């Protein structure tokens, strides 16, 4: 198993399936009366968030706590970082405090790589979203959700499944991580966006691309809608929010053109009425809320395998995982 | 002052010959020459002192990164006897006062001539011409003007600047970067920028400005110099402009000759530079352009930064790399050892032509009797593994650290006085150059 989780591309098929299968086992913990395992007792996990993200932070926090780790939340706002402290000094401080894992969210692409490769911390580094680069645990929870609905069995991948990802791919770390992981798991990915929101060099990615959402719905097993940031709406990436919504938004008419088994996904938070209409967001085929639940299980699995794995699997299972 | 003779070194890489000099002037070239001090030049190459058209010395304002003195020392170690100090200091070198200060600090240090570059616009703000004439008339005698670090993007202002400097034979050295196309840009725009999620700096942002500026230079009949050109398209535009007879010159940096954007995959800001490291195809194109004369000179864009500006996340890091102490080695590796350039041509592109573009009268002169004794002695057979700590610069942002490069400067003479002897820096005996 890898030491850090910096990119969805760090995971080979075996590692990815191992995480998904472990998450499958851990999902049950949430429904127990006492939602806690002793696996990471005595370990310290730091949530190092340089960028606001309540959803991701509490998901990681819940995951760590359910494994009995001690959790330190570090938010850049109001901290020494706002007084000009560098990432390096922050990391050295955390190292001095004995962090076993650092979960980092940062506005700068590559910040988790710097943290891991410059050896400012000895703990495992988990990328919780860096700039416009990647968000690997989001891709894992998405893959987990897809596998539950489209395949159903543990030990399997997503071979042959057709996944359509729609929206602002250019600025989306979710899209990058999904493109890599879904390819590793054997799925066919189509990225749909206006040409202004597809990155230069996307033709080198292991995906298909399309400018036409309607043409990409008929045989999709899952459709993932990406959030459109408000600041893009007046930056000439597209003429207007209305036009974007007409051409790339998911409404009931488009939903009805999907195959019956297809699911609708969104990493959240949603702009209802922009990339997705409210009725589609709340539709029975929408698994958006379930993605959140699955996120905790997947992050538990990642923490367990990166930290608990180091202590030896037998010990972990003795502590009651299986 | 002692007289020196360098015995049996290969003059401009040609046959071995003795070269004697005294009182700052070359007194003899031949065989069996004598002097107070004899330097064995066996196996070494003699070149004229190198001239850099593009150095950042950071003084005034950021003396923690580099001073005129330490920059001059790094230059001497790299074989340079003259560097042009860019204007983006704090305060900006946009007045006669600042340029004279930089010029004087260089003379007082005595390691190399520091020729200030004046800002084109007040405070590099791109809105109002700086007092170009006052800087030209100052003791520093500024001939090169540049807002380097920023592009003179306003077409009217660029036209006026090109026209205005004709009065004193000046040249505008343009940092070609269309600002809107490069907002937030972090690295070369290409497949890798998309993959890494870093905002791209597209080649067209450089090429569009170069294309515009060569047409402006043609229209007003003035001299244009293009700083640190980095793309295949830029080379093609310069080639076209020269074929039309437009008075344009261009430079390429050592790092654009050797390094490419795949290094950015490490997210290590040591590789963050502006313009960014480009693709391997661009590297090939700039090597070709330098070999065939489309690109006139190599200029270092030596850009010192303190470690805290590089030991951080990529997007927070400063743009820039050190270059003075490794430039000749990089040129040897990429151009000489590959057979693309002779040492004679290296002398042209790293000494004579940059001095000519900068209109520096006593630098970049031929190695001939009666000429100033600005001489560098190079050991082309030496190899060295670059150590970032082994530098005269106050900064350590060296992208070549750990690489093994060929060639080493054995000695540098500025007007006949050694600034480097036996591969180490020596204190200049006096500041006799102050009145030169």
Residue A319 has pLDDT above 80, yes or no: no
**Considering the domain boundaries, does residue A163 fall inside one?**
yes
Residue A322 has pLDDT above 60, yes or no: no
d(CA A114, CA B267): 7
- The Cα of A298 is separated from the nearest Cα of chain B by a number of Å equal to 24
Q: Which of B312, B335, B357 delimits the end of a domain?
A: B357
pLDDT in tens, chain B (436 residues): 689 999 999 999 999 999 999 999 999 999 999 999 999 999 999 999 999 999 999 999 999 999 999 999 999 999 999 999 999 999 999 999 999 999 999 999 999 999 999 999 999 999 999 999 999 999 999 999 999 999 999 999 999 999 999 999 999 999 999 999 999 999 999 999 999 999 999 999 999 999 999 999 999 999 999 999 999 999 999 999 999 999 999 999 999 999 999 999 999 999 999 999 999 999 999 999 999 999 999 999 999 999 999 999 999 999 999 999 999 999 999 999 999 999 999 999 999 999 999 999 999 999 999 999 999 999 999 999 999 999 999 999 999 999 999 999 999 999 999 999 999 999 876 555 444 4
Answer whether B193 touches A (CB < 8 Å). Answer: yes
Q: How many helices (H) and strands (E) does chain A have?
A: 12, 9
Cβ <8 Å between A131 and B266: no
Q: Are B205 and B280 in the same domain?
A: yes
Q: Are A166 and A125 in the same domain?
A: no
Tokens of B417: 């006085």
Q: Are B280 and B189 in the same domain?
A: yes
Per-residue confidence (pLDDT) for residue A315, from 0 to 100: 42
Cβ <8 Å between A173 and B197: yes
Q: Nearest by CB to A114, from B189, B198, B267: name it.
A: B267
Segment A39-51, tens digit of pLDDT: 999 999 999 999 8
Q: Are A296 and A277 in the same domain?
A: no
Give B 295-354 residues with CB within 8 A of chain A: 308, 311-316
Q: Are A125 and A39 in the same domain?
A: yes
Rounded to the nearest 10 degrees, the angle between the axes of helix B96-109 and helix B68-77 is 50
Q: Nearest by CB to B308, from A86, A109, A203: name it.
A: A86
Structural domain of residue B41, as residue ranges?
Answer: 4-45+371-425
d(CA B253, CA B290): 10
**Considering the domain boundaries, does residue A94 fall inside one?**
yes
Share of chain B above pLDDT 90, in %: 97
- The Cα of B204 is separated from the nearest Cα of chain A by a number of Å equal to 13
Chain A residues in contact with B190 by the CB 8 A cut-off are 200-201
State the DSSP code for B304.
-
**Considering the domain boundaries, does residue A3 fall inside one?**
no
Cβ <8 Å between B316 and A87: yes
Q: Are A115 and A219 in the same domain?
A: no
Which residue on chain B is closest to A199 by alpha carbon? Answer: B194
**Considering the domain boundaries, does residue A2 fall inside one?**
no
Q: Are A31 and A121 in the same domain?
A: yes
Q: Tell me, what CATH number does B421's domain have?
A: 2.30.40.10
Residue A311 has pLDDT above 60, yes or no: no
Segment A195-210, tens digit of pLDDT: 999 999 999 999 999 9
Q: Are A196 and A267 in the same domain?
A: yes
Report the length, in residues, of chain B: 436
Tokens of B75: 């230059």
Tokens of B313: 């996340």
A55 is in an annotated binding site: yes
Burial B230-259 (b: 16+ CB within 10 A, else e): bbbbbbbbbbebbeeebebbbbbbbbbbbb
The number of distinct structural domains making up chain A is 2
**Considering the domain boundaries, does residue B145 fall inside one?**
yes
Q: Which of B330, B357, B384 delimits the end of a domain?
A: B357
With contact defined as beta carbons under 8 Å apart, do B341 and B291 qualify? yes
d(CA B84, CA B185): 27
- The Cα of B266 is separated from the nearest Cα of chain A by a number of Å equal to 8
Q: Are A187 and A115 in the same domain?
A: no
A106 is in an annotated binding site: no
Assign A31 a pLDDT band (cuts: 50, 70, 90).
Answer: confident
A105 is in an annotated binding site: yes
Half-sphere exposure of B141 (CA within 13 A, CB side): 9
Q: Are B108 and B238 in the same domain?
A: yes
Segment B138-183, tens digit of pLDDT: 999 999 999 999 999 999 999 999 999 999 999 999 999 999 999 9
Tokens of A241: 């929010």
Q: Are A124 and A17 in the same domain?
A: yes
Per-residue confidence (pLDDT) for residue B433, from 0 to 100: 47
Answer whether B184 touches A (CB < 8 Å). Answer: no
- The structure tokens 């520093």 sit at B140
Tokens of B85: 């100090």
**Considering the domain boundaries, does residue B434 fall inside one?**
no
Is there a cis peptide before residue B60, judged by omega within 30 degrees of 0?
Answer: yes
Per-residue confidence (pLDDT) for residue B361, from 0 to 100: 95
Mean pLDDT value across chain A: 91
Q: Are B275 and B403 in the same domain?
A: no
Size of interface A-B (CB pairs under 8 A): 79
Q: Nearest by CB to A87, from B191, B196, B312: name it.
A: B312
Share of chain A above pLDDT 70, in %: 93
DSSP for B325-356 reads TTHHHHHIIIIITTTS--HHHHHIIIIIHHHH
Q: Are B294 and B418 in the same domain?
A: no
Q: Are B53 and B41 in the same domain?
A: no
**Considering the domain boundaries, does residue A303 fall inside one?**
yes
**Considering the domain boundaries, does residue A221 fall inside one?**
yes
Q: Are A142 and A271 in the same domain?
A: yes
d(CA B402, CA B386): 5
Segment B180-214, tens digit of pLDDT: 999 999 999 999 999 999 999 999 999 999 999 99
| B261 in active site | no
Give B 206-265 residues with CB within 8 A of chain A: none
d(CA B78, CA B73): 9
Pick the residue of B183, B191, B195 with the most A CBs within 10 A to test the interface with A by mutation: B195
Q: Tell me, what CATH number does A50's domain have?
A: 3.40.50.1370
**Considering the domain boundaries, does residue B397 fall inside one?**
yes
Q: Tell me, what CATH number does B204's domain have?
A: 3.20.20.140
Tokens of A15: 């590692």
The number of distinct structural domains making up chain B is 2
Q: Nearest by CB to A109, from B198, B268, B312: name it.
A: B198
Cβ <8 Å between A107 and B315: yes
Q: Are A120 and A15 in the same domain?
A: yes
Per-residue confidence (pLDDT) for residue B434, from 0 to 100: 44
Structural domain of residue A61, as residue ranges?
Answer: 8-135+292-318
Cβ <8 Å between A201 and B193: yes
Tokens of A304: 């367990």
In degrees, rounded to 5, the angle at the alpha carbon of residue A145 between the alpha carbons of residues A144 and A151 is: 80
Q: Are B291 and B207 in the same domain?
A: yes
Cβ <8 Å between A201 and B194: yes
Burial of B131 (0-12, 13-18, 19+ CB in 10 A): middle
Q: Are B347 and B406 in the same domain?
A: no
Element of type H or E holding B237: helix B232-243
Q: Are A95 and A165 in the same domain?
A: no
Q: Are B349 and B399 in the same domain?
A: no
d(CA A269, CA B220): 56
Q: Are B273 and B391 in the same domain?
A: no
Assign A175 a pLDDT band (cuts: 50, 70, 90).
Answer: very high
Which residue on chain A is closest to B199 by alpha carbon? Answer: A132
Which residue on chain B is closest to A204 by alpha carbon? Answer: B191
Q: Are A174 and A275 in the same domain?
A: yes
Q: By three-state DSSP, how is residue A105 classified?
A: strand
Q: Nearest by CB to A108, from B192, B268, B316: name it.
A: B316
Residue A84 has pLDDT above 60, yes or no: yes
User: Rounded mean pLDDT of A264-288?
Assistant: 96
Per-residue confidence (pLDDT) for residue A296, from 0 to 100: 96
Nearest to B206, CA basis, from B184, B173, B183, B228: B228
Catalytic residue among B52, B282, B296, B301: B301
CB contact set of A314 (below 8 Å; sequence gap of 6+): none
Q: Are B341 and B398 in the same domain?
A: no
Q: Are B107 and B186 in the same domain?
A: yes
């Amino acid at each position: 198993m890898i030491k850090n989780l910096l990119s969805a591309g760090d995971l080979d098929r075996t590692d990815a399936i191992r995480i998904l299968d472990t998450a499958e086992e851990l999902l049950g913990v949430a429904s127990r009366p006492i939602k806690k395992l002793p696996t990471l007792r005595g370990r310290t996990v730091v949530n190092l968030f340089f960028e606001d993200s309540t959803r991701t932070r509490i998901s990681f926090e819940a995951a760590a706590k359910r494994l009995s780790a001690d959790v330190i939340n570090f938010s850049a706002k109001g901290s020494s970082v706002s007084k000009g402290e560098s990432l390096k000094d922050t990391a050295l401080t955390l190292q001095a405090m004995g962090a076993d894992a650092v979960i980092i969210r940062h506005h700068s692409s590559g910040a988790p790589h710097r943290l891991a490769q410059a050896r400012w911390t000895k703990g495992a580094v988990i990328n919780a979203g860096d700039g416009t680069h990647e968000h690997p645990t989001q891709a894992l929870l998405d893959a987990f959700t897809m596998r539950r609905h489209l395949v159903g069995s543990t030990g399997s991948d997503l071979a042959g499944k057709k996944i359509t990802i729609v929206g602002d791919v250019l600025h989306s770390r979710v899209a990058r991580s999904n493109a890599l992981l879904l390819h590793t798991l054997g799925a066919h990915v189509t990225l749909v966006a206006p040409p202004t929101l597809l990155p230069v060099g996307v033709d080198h990615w292991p995906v298909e691309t399309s400018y036409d959402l309607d043409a990409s719905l008929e045989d999709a097993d899952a459709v993932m809608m990406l959030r459109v940031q408000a600041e893009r709406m007046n930056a000439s990436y597209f003429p207007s929010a209305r036009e974007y919504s007409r051409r790339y938004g998911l409404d009931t008419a488009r939903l009805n053109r999907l195959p019956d088994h297809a699911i609708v996904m969104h990493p959240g938070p949603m702009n209802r009425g922009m990339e997705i209409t409210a009725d589609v967001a709340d539709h029975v085929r929408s698994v958006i809320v379930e993605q959140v639940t699955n996120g905790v299980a997947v992050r538990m699995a990642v923490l367990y395998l990166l930290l608990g794995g180091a202590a030896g699997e037998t010990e972990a299972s003795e502590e009651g995982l299986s | 002052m002692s007289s020196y003779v360098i015995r049996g070194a290969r003059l401009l890489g040609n046959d071995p010959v003795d070269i004697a000099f005294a009182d700052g002037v070359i007194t003899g070239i031949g065989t069996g020459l004598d002097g107070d001090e004899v330097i064995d030049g066996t196996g070494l190459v003699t070149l004229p002192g190198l001239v850099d058209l593009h150095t950042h010395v950071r003084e005034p304002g950021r003396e923690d990164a580099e001073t005129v003195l330490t920059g001059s020392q790094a230059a001497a170690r790299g074989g340079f006897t003259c560097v042009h100090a860019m204007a983006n200091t704090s305060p900006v070198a946009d007045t006669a006062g600042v340029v004279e200060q930089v010029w004087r600090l260089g003379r007082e240090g005595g390691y190399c001539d520091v020729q200030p570059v004046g800002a084109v616009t007040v405070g590099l703000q791109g809105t109002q011409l700086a007092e170009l004439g006052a800087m030209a008339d100052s003791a520093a005698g500024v001939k090169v003007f540049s807002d380097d670090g920023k592009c003179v993007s306003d077409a009217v202002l660029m036209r006026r600047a090109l026209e205005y400097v004709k009065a004193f034979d000046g040249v505008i050295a343009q940092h070609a970067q269309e600002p809107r196309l490069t907002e937030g840009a972090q690295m070369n725009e290409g497949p890798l920028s998309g993959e890494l999620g870093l905002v791209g700096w597209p080649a067209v942002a450089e090429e569009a400005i170069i294309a515009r500026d060569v047409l402006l230079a043609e229209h007003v009949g003035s001299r244009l110099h293009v700083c640190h050109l980095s793309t295949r398209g830029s080379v093609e535009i310069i080639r076209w402009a020269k074929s039309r007879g437009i008075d344009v010159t261009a430079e390429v940096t050592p790092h654009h000759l050797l390094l490419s954007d795949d290094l950015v995959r490490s997210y290590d800001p040591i590789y963050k530079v502006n313009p960014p490291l480009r693709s391997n195809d661009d590297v090939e194109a700039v090597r070709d352009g330098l070999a065939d004369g489309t690109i006139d000179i190599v200029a270092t864009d030596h850009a010192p930064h303190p470690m805290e500006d590089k030991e951080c996340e990529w997007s927070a890091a400063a743009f820039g790399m050190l270059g003075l102490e490794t430039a000749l080695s990089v040129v040897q590796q990429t151009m000489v050892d590959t057979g693309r350039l002779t040492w004679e041509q290296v002398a042209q592109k790293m000494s004579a032509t940059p001095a000519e573009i900068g209109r520096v009268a006593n630098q970049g002169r031929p190695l001939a009797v009666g000429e100033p004794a600005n001489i560098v002695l190079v050991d082309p057979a030496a190899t060295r593994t670059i150590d970032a700590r082994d530098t005269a610069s106050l900064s350590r942002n060296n992208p070549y650290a750990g690489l093994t490069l060929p060639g080493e400067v054995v000695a540098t003479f500025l007007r006949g006085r050694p600034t480097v002897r036996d591969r180490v820096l020596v204190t200049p005996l006096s500041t006799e150059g102050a009145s030169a």
